Amino acid sequence: MAKKDTSKTNVTARAALKAMEVKCRYCGNKPDIVRVLTPTGRARMYRKCCAAAGLAA
């Protein structure tokens, strides 16, 4: 979703927005999230970044 002050054609603003580093709110690393199926068949989102950092996800 585009912000009001940036347009779709503003390539510089879009590149700067893409370059901003996103960090996981739990461990502070780059988020690495995968979808895992449990043995019962339900899907669960699993944070691999937190597991690698040693935090329970």
Q: Is the pLDDT of residue 38 over 50?
A: yes
Picking from 16, 18, 23, the residue whose alpha carbon sits closest to that of residue 53 is 23
Q: Between 55 and 2, where is the model more confident?
A: 55
Picking from 33, 21, 18, the residue whose alpha carbon sits closest to that of residue 10 is 18
Q: Is the pLDDT of residue 57 over 50?
A: no
Q: How confident is the model at residue 42, as a pLDDT?
A: 94
Rounded Cα distance between 55 and 48, Å, is: 10
Mean pLDDT (the chain, rounded)? 78
Q: Is the pLDDT of residue 9 over 80?
A: no
In angstroms, the Cα distances linking 20 to 14, 34, 38, 47 are 10, 22, 34, 20
For the chain, the domains span 23-57
Percent of the chain whose pLDDT exceeds 70: 79
Picking from 17, 52, 54, the residue whose alpha carbon sits closest to that of residue 33 is 52
